[in-house]
Amino acid sequence: MADNSLFPRKSDIFKGSTLDIRDSLARVSLDALYQVTFSFGKSSTWLEGDEPGKNRTQGTDFKRKMSLLCTQAEIPGTSFTTDLAVGHHQGIQESFPNLRNFPPLNLTFYCDVDMVILEVLERWMSFINPVKNKRDYAAFSRFEYPEDYKEILHVTKFERDSFVEKKGSYQSSLAHYEFVNVWPTDLTSMRVAYGEPNVLQCSVQFAYDRFFSSFDGLEGQAPINTATGIVNSNDAAVEGAYTITNSADSAQRQVEAQIHKDAALYGNTFPAFR
């Protein structure tokens, strides 16, 4: 076998027209279309049965409000810890994975005027490490059992055309990420000051044991060009904000269905959706 038999040949280098790759280049993902779903099944324990009321959450529950006010999230990365092996092949040094690492998950929230977001996060962290006899000189703290405060969290990435209702129309798939045994490790400080007002934001770092991903229906689909030559053009759609809102609602329904499916398969403690 020739030494260069595996290298790309001239015939393998793309030399065609941009029309030949238009469909691929036009289908890029937008980072503003996502939803974080807080699939809490133990919140009644670490909130001690005292969840924020409907007046403070505008008629919904605090998990839905947290989902709506989560202004920044992350699609997780991962890495391997490796070991070196020398001597398996003469003169060759090889590396092999021995542990998979999961980096922290960082979320940023808009703080609401009812302070629901801050209260939930503060009470969650206070439950993990409660302080006894808070005002006494002999105050002390202890940690609760992780089974009582570790939760499930989902991040769903979708696109504008993921929920097209037209029969036979191409739909982009959803990317689902499930974070297992999530708990907050770091609630960053929030600066308040006189001057030009801005929306108060809080950033939280979460630790978790692992995550799972699912990419629904990626195979067997083909993009369809419209009469205007734009892939997946939404010519008949209404304004973008309305489309995004509908997409978010549909994403919520799909994520909830996935949660129920996971609960049936793995016996997790997901709450019933109302």
The predicted pLDDT at position 239 comes to 34
Q: What are the C-alpha distances in Å from 121 to residues 175, 181, 252?
A: 26, 16, 22
Residues in the chain: 274
pTM as predicted: 0.73
The predicted pLDDT at position 24 comes to 79
Q: Where are the alpha helices (DSSP H) in 93-186?
A: 116-128
The predicted pLDDT at position 236 comes to 34
Q: How many Å apart are CA 236 and CA 213, to the nearest integer?
A: 33
Structure tokens at 115: 């302070």
Confirm if 209 and 218 have CB atoms less than 8 A apart: no
Closest to 63 (Cα-Cα) out of 48, 94, 42: 42
Structure tokens at 252: 């919520």
The predicted pLDDT at position 97 comes to 93
List the pLDDT tens digit at each of the 274 positions of the chain: 456 678 888 888 888 887 888 877 888 888 999 999 999 999 999 999 999 999 999 999 999 999 999 999 999 999 999 999 988 888 889 999 999 999 999 999 999 999 999 999 999 999 999 998 888 888 989 999 999 999 999 999 998 888 877 666 677 888 999 999 999 999 999 999 999 999 999 999 999 999 999 987 555 454 444 444 444 433 333 333 333 334 445 555 665 666 666 666 555 554 444 4
Closest to 126 (Cα-Cα) out of 66, 179, 210, 50: 50
Structure tokens at 11: 């015939």
Q: What are the C-alpha distances in Å from 35 to residues 42, 118, 175?
A: 21, 19, 11
Q: How many Å apart are CA 165 and CA 30, to the nearest integer?
A: 20
The predicted pLDDT at position 9 comes to 85
Residue 1 corresponds to which amino acid? M
